[in-house]
Amino acid sequence: MIITILVITFNIFLLIFPKIVLTAARDGLMLWFNNVLPSLLPFMIATNMLILLGFVNFAGRALSPVMRFLFKLPGAAGFGFITGLTSGYPMGAKTVADLRRSNQLALSEAQHLLAFSNNAGPLFIVGVVGVGLFESARAGYVLWAGHVLAAIVLGILLRPKTRPEGGNFLETASPTRPSENNTGQVLGEAVKNAMESMALIGGLIIFFSVVVALAEYLVLPSDALFGGIFAGLAEVTGGVRRLAAPELSIVTLGAAAFVIGFGGFSVHAQSFHFTAGTGIKILPYLIAKVGHGVIAATFTVILWSVLQ
């Protein structure tokens, strides 16, 4: 009932403030078209090809000893961890859900893996945020390093003291090599999957751009820092764009690291779609993402201070 009331209220606001809505939707569309699409699409296609060829699965299984030592997770979890780090939101959540549905992970293992494997991709952080928004490749690399370090630390902090019941560590002394599939078929499937994902991402960016614009007009503070953080809690790209509007500073960079680490409810809406029916709980995941944002901001501030 509450959701229905909120949706009705939102539709009323669409009618009351058409100029704000159209401007925000246009800005969201151009942000996606000019920054997100050209930066992420080639990487998504290439990553999808690796997944279809079996290379990511091969690499993840090869990391089985590392996953057991660092995170107390089975070798199959390495596939989810690598996919989440390379492909970006929300591929980590989708991969974890697939591993859970195929019974390669126990429920507690899937909950643990999701907490630190659903991350922003390097091309988004370095390309879109660093080069595109902050106009600094160095800032992008610092943000990416802080993001990855935070994911690893979070995974270690959340690991269980003992292996969960029903968990099966996959022994992979001789990992399966990548398959040799038809290149044309693989490329076509990779492009198709990438375009479907980009369309979904674009639609959510536009929708949440409108939500943020209405909230900014009605309730959000006009201050660039706090306004950017609040906007980023809804949609990460638009929030970081607001943070990047002033000149680059250690404060705005730390705030951007927090926003990227948290991910925004636009990303979480996609993640919840993929994990539905797996038994994975939403609240622990959201708490973990807040922790990821805090840890990432801390690492980013330290790294930026050292490199100054």
Of 16-20, 57-61, 190-194, the least confident: 57-61
pTM above 0.85, yes or no: no
- pLDDT value, residue 128: 85
**pLDDT tens digits for range 118-127:** 999 888 899 8
In this prediction, what percent of the chain has a pLDDT beyond 70? 90
Three-class SS state of 24: helix
Give the model's pLDDT for residue 142. Answer: 95
pLDDT band at 166 (very low <50, low <70, confident <90, very high): very low
Which residues are CB-contacts of 210 (< 8 A; sequence separation ≥ 6)?
14, 21, 24, 25, 28
Span of 2-6, 146-150, 172-176, 263-267 with lowest mean pLDDT: 172-176
DSSP string, 242-254: HHTSS---HHHHH
Is pLDDT of 31 > 90? no
pLDDT at 171: 42
Rounded to 5°, the CA angle 236-190-106 comes to 70
Q: Is the pLDDT of residue 197 over 80?
A: no
Residue 5 binned pLDDT confidence (cut-offs 50, 70, 90): confident
| pLDDT surpasses 80 at 47 | no
169 pLDDT exceeds 80?
A: no
Q: Is the pLDDT of residue 285 over 80?
A: yes
What pLDDT does residue 221 have?
62
CA–CA dist 93, 111 (Å, integer): 10
The answer on pLDDT for 79 being more than 60 is yes
Q: How confident is the model at residue 56 (pLDDT cuts 50, 70, 90)?
A: low
Closest CA to 126 of 50, 27, 43, 213: 43
DSSP single-letter state for residue 75: T
Higher pLDDT, 294 or 169: 294
Q: Compare 308 and 239 and report the one with higher pLDDT.
A: 239
Residues with Cβ within 8 Å of 218's Cβ and at least 6 positions away in sequence, in order, are none
Question: What would the mean pLDDT of 20-26 be, rounded to a whole number?
Answer: 92
Does the pLDDT of residue 180 top 70, yes or no? no
d(CA 38, CA 149): 26
Q: What is the mean pLDDT of the chain?
A: 84
